[in-house]
Amino acid sequence: MVRLLPQDEGFFDLFERAADNLQEAGRLLDRFLTDFTDVANKAKQINNVEHAGDHLTREAIEKLNRTFLAPFDREEIHALVCRMDDVLDHLDEAVNRMVLYRIAAPTEDARALGKVLHASTTLIRELMPLLRNLKQPQVILNKCLQIQQQESEGDRIEQHGLAALFDNKHEATEIIKWKDIYGDLEKATDACSDVANVVESIVIRHS
């Protein structure tokens, strides 16, 4: 699509900063679940990243409110930054629950969901710079597909984890705890897919 008026490049900077922050959260989550030591400190680091994401989301929305000419529709920009923030919220909630519930050790399925989220947030980070130039829409759509495939894998892992809780006859309290944690992690993978869906919409409308 040919743009007849100059666009505000600051939005793309914000998208990329938000995605950098999101990828860092995915990395820290993977480390948290893989090496379950110094748990309180690692959880605090993730919480700090989540707070940084809140600030970036507010910055983007404030910029949107005072900008006349945005690169995409206002609803698309709002959705993009808010869906990235949703990933952080669910991810942080999962970690907070693990600390609150005094989980002795992550399950293999929880660790697998951490790997999915690390991969998904990395893909989102790779995706954001591509929005500066929509001349290769298929490249962008392929990355969106990869994120959606990760979300499907997250669904599979969550279902496996829930089934294992009942198959192994865990205590009721453990089932309740892990049901909540798996739910938060799976919601985070859903939110990653939501980011990809917003980007797909942008590509279809503007390329």
* Close Cβ partners of 173 (under 8 Å, ≥ 6 residues apart): none
| Torsions phi, psi for 56 (to 5 deg) | -65, -40
Q: Which pTM was predicted? A: 0.92
CATH architecture of 10-206: Up-down Bundle (1.20)
| Torsions phi, psi for 101 (to 5 deg) | -80, 0
* CA 51/CA 21 separation, integer angstroms: 10
- CA separation, residue 12 to residues 128, 130, 182 (Å): 8, 10, 33
* CA 133/CA 186 separation, integer angstroms: 31
- Per-residue pLDDT of the chain (207 residues), as tens digits, is 434 334 556 899 999 999 999 999 999 999 999 999 999 999 999 999 999 999 999 999 999 988 878 888 999 999 999 999 999 999 999 999 999 999 999 999 999 999 999 999 999 999 999 999 888 899 999 999 999 999 999 999 999 999 998 886 778 899 999 999 999 999 999 999 999 999 999 999 987
Domain boundaries, the chain: 10-206
**Alpha-helical regions (H) of the chain:** 10-34, 39-66, 74-100, 108-127, 137-167, 172-206
Query: How many CB atoms sit inside 10 A of residue 108's CB?
Result: 12
